[in-house]
Chain A
Amino acid sequence: KAGVTQTPRYLIKTRGQQVTLSCSPISGHRSVSWYQQTPGQGLQFLFEYFSETQRNKGNFPGRFSGRQFSNSRSEMNVSTLELGDSALYLCASSLEPSGANVLTFGAGSRLTVL
C-alpha cells in the first residue's frame, strides 16, 4: 500500500511569505503528526490530529497552524516566514492515538527561507 505522501518535497520562500504543506497518510490511518527537524534540535513536535481535531500542540508560535480533513489528509501552514523556519518538515501517520502508536513518516518537505 502507498506510504505517507508529503508535498511539495522542496520549496524556497522569502521572509514574510506564508507556506502550506500537505500530507496524505497511509490508507486507514486516522492520526497525523507533524514535526520540524533541524540539525541542532532534532525532531520537534508541532501538532497531532485525529478525526479532524487537533489533539495536542507543541511549543511553537501561533504562526504555525494545521488542520485535518475528513479523509485524514492534513495540511500545515506557516505564516510570516522567518529565516529560522528553514527546516525539514516531517509528517507521520498512525492508526489511532492510543496503544502502540507506531509512526510511519513521509519523506518530508524541505523548506528554505531566504
Chain B
Amino acid sequence: GQNIDQPTEMTATEGAIVQINCTYQTSGFNGLFWYQQHAGEAPTFLSYNVLDGLEEKGRFSSFLSRSKGYSYLLLKELQMKDSASYLCAVRDSDGGFKTIFGAGTRLFVKA
C-alpha cells in the first residue's frame, strides 16, 4: 500500500526559511511532487523529483532521497503570500498509475 506523512501545521516568519518534510512508502515509486494550495483554491504544481538530489526553482527547492523514502520542500525568503497548504504527492505505478497525496501541511507566515 501507500502512505505519505507530513506535518499538519507549521508557522514561520516573513523573510525566513522553512523546510517542510515528507516521508512516504510506496510499492512502485515513479516520482514525487509538491503542490501548493491556497485556501478556497485548487492545488497548483510546484516541483517534481524523480532522482535523488535537490531541484531548485527560484525561492523554492525540493529534495528527494529514494532510499530513505524522504523529501523536503524548502521555501526561502518567505512572503505573506506563501501562507498556504503544501501537498506532498507520490506517483505510484503499482497496479496502474496513480498519484497519491499526503494530507498537506498548512503553513502560516507571520509578519
Q: Which residue from chain B places its CB closest to the CB of A105 in the assembled complex?
A: B42
Question: Cβ of B50: which chain A residues have Cβ within 8 Å of it?
Answer: 100
- Quick check: is A56 within 8 A (CB to CB) of the other chain? yes
Cβ of B74 within 8 Å of any chain A Cβ, yes or no, is no
Quick check: is A90 within 8 A (CB to CB) of the other chain? Answer: yes
Q: How many residues of B contact A (CB 8 A)?
A: 24
Interface size on A, residues (CB 8 A): 23
B-contact bits for A77-114, CB 8 A (1 contact / 0 none): 00000000000001000000110111111111000000
Q: Which of B15-23, B57-65, B93-101 contacts A (4 or more CB under 8 A)?
A: B93-101
Q: Is the CB of A106 within 8 A of B103?
A: no
- Is A48 part of the binding interface, using a Cβ–Cβ cutoff of 8 Å? yes
In the assembled complex, the CB of A55 is this many whole angstroms from the nearest CB of chain B, namely: 5
Is A90 a contact partner of B42 (Cβ separation < 8 A)? yes
Please give, as numbers and ranges, the residues of chain A lying within 8 Å of B101 by CB-CB distance: 35, 42-45
Give the dominant DSSP class at B's interface: strand
CB distance from B68 to the nearest CB of A (A): 22
Q: Does B48 contact A (CB under 8 A)?
A: yes
- Does B76 touch A at the CB level, under 8 Å? no
Q: A56 to chain B: which residues have CB within 8 Å?
A: 95-98
Contact B103 A41, beta carbon cutoff 8 Å: yes
Mark B69-111 against chain A: 1 for CB-CB distance below 8 A, else 0: 0000000000000000001010100011111111110000000
A106 to B43, CA, bound (A): 9
B residues apposed to A, CB below 8 Å = 30-31, 33, 35, 41-45, 48, 50, 87, 89, 91, 95-104
List 20 additional contacts besides A43-B43, A102-B48, A103-B43; criterion CB under 8 Å. A33-B99, A41-B103, A42-B102, A42-B104, A43-B101, A45-B101, A55-B97, A55-B98, A97-B97, A98-B30, A98-B97, A100-B31, A100-B50, A101-B31, A101-B91, A101-B97, A101-B99, A103-B33, A104-B45, A108-B42
